[in-house]
Amino acid sequence: MERLQKVIAASGLTSRRKAEELIVAGKVKVNGEVITELGYKVNDNSEIEVDGLKLNKEDKVYYLLNKPRGVVTTTHDDKGRKTVIDFIDDNRRIYPIGRLDYDTTGVLLLTNDGEFANYMMHPKNEIDKVYIAKINGFLLPSDIMALKKGVVIDGVKTDKAKVKVRKIDKQNKTSIVEIIIHEGRNHQVKNMFKTLGYEVLKLKREKIAFLDLKGLNSGEYRPLNPKEIKQLYALTQQKNTR
């Protein structure tokens, strides 16, 4: 038996918080009966209807994609551009966990497990994301320290980051920089460098937690194995119990 809002969130239909709001508003039915109690528990056989939509029970799936450049991180694009979903051969309702920009490449996770997605995206769980950025110019020591301590974007300071210059190209006046963050704000890495006067020319997400792109060419994907899924859940739970 599991709490109703947890089951709704796990289906990927909406977040747990939104599910709770829908329950309180009387928009959720279980076996034909309107439920407004947040502590209400359901089992695998319960028929759940959310705002007129029947919840379909599907096996949970988890994929790791090496996202190519020029692909949008969404389930559907009104402009007809290729989406990350187009690369996954699965008819279930899967969606990306977080977002990578149109011109950003690298590690992207996709799933139909809403609870897992929320755990992975929430900043409090501090899931490391490793990015490799090609920038114009050379990072000053003071700018490296600023990135490490956090910079202010739209009035909010970023959390501490780990920063390392991997390579300097004096001829082309560019640098390759590794930066590790655990937040996921819109265009965050690009904006962190922009705040200090640098332009990100190329950006690749190399790792999420312990997951990397080993064995995957651009546009290729693979399912996560049970051990990896268990390890990721353990990481988020470890942060929650600190």
Residues that are catalytic: 101
Total residue count of the chain as it appears in this document: 242
* Residue among 144, 143, 155, 134 nearest 199 (CA): 134
DSSP 8-state assignment for residue 125: G
Q: Strand, coil or helix: what is 45?
A: coil
How many Å separate Cα 25 from the centre of its chain? 29
CB distance 106 to 100 below 8 Å:
yes
> 114: exposed, middle or buried (C-beta count within 10 Å: 0-12, 13-18, 19+)?
buried
* Residue among 220, 227, 184 nearest 105 (CA): 220
Strands, E assignment, the chain: 2-3, 28-30, 33-34, 41-42, 48-50, 53-54, 62-67, 95-96, 104-111, 129-136, 152-153, 156-157, 162-169, 174-181, 200-208, 211-212, 221-223
CA separation (Å) from 5 to 10, 15, 25, 99, 236? 9, 9, 13, 25, 19
